Amino acid sequence: MSAESAESPQQGGPLYKLWRFIREIVIIVAIALVLSFVIKTFFFRAYYIPSGSMENTLQINDRIFANLMVPGPFELERGDVVVFRDDLDWLPPLESQPTAVESALSFVGILPAAGEQYLVKRIIGTAGDTVECCTVDGKLSINGTPIDEPYIYPGNTPSDMAFTVTVPEGKLWVMGDHRAESADSRFHPDVQGGFVDLDSVQGKASVISWPLSRWGTIDSHEEVFASVPVPGN
């Protein structure tokens, strides 16, 4: 048998084949983790919906993806559903901390954000807007223009409490679609007037990713706000 046809134990043996297989798996996993981290950091991030404050737009246990390029290259608009950090302590402290594995998987973007407090609400007013509730026929108005809100949870009113606010620069006025179950901007007048810092916004909730039966985009309902005039006009 020639030297060329003889099987080299180093190059063709079972241990070498096993090593090659393991190496390829490690490379594939490493690339997947890097891509996941890049996507999570710059483009999209997963979040979990723990409450019914945004029903029926979002349901308890929904998983969503938020577009991290908003605000940023793209601007936020009235009607957008946004994810924002709980920088103003609207929520009670976490009862338990995530495990090391959960934190690691969250860091690379495989699991939703762990160990951090976030809220998901719909933008009703942006800088300069005057938001008031309610008109004589029970509607919310923005800059003096009443709006019809088809996304409100069936049987809810636009608000059970009266308010009139003007949104400062760099802030947002946000409300949940399930108005009777949402402790939103209306319920925090003693904390920065109930306004959310634009800098606290992590991104625009864009897609419901789980469960598969609810897969789809999240509607901003631009038509609701189309007739609202520019502040001051």
Q: Tell me the C-alpha distance between 23 and 161, whole Å.
A: 62
* 53 in active site: yes
Q: Which two tokens stand for residue 124?
A: 């009703």
Q: Tell me the C-alpha distance between 28 and 7, whole Å.
A: 28
Selected catalytic residue, list 53, 182, 185, 206 = 53
Q: How many CB atoms lie within 10 A of CB 67?
A: 20
Q: How many CB atoms lie within 10 A of CB 204?
A: 24
Selected catalytic residue, list 40, 121, 171, 204 = 121
Q: Which two tokens stand for residue 46?
A: 């997963």
Query: At residue 199, what are phi and psi to the nearest 5 degrees?
Result: -70, -20
Q: Tell me the C-alpha distance between 69 and 109, whole Å.
A: 16
What does the chain come to in residues? 233
Where in the sequence numbering do the catalytic residues fall?
A: 53, 121
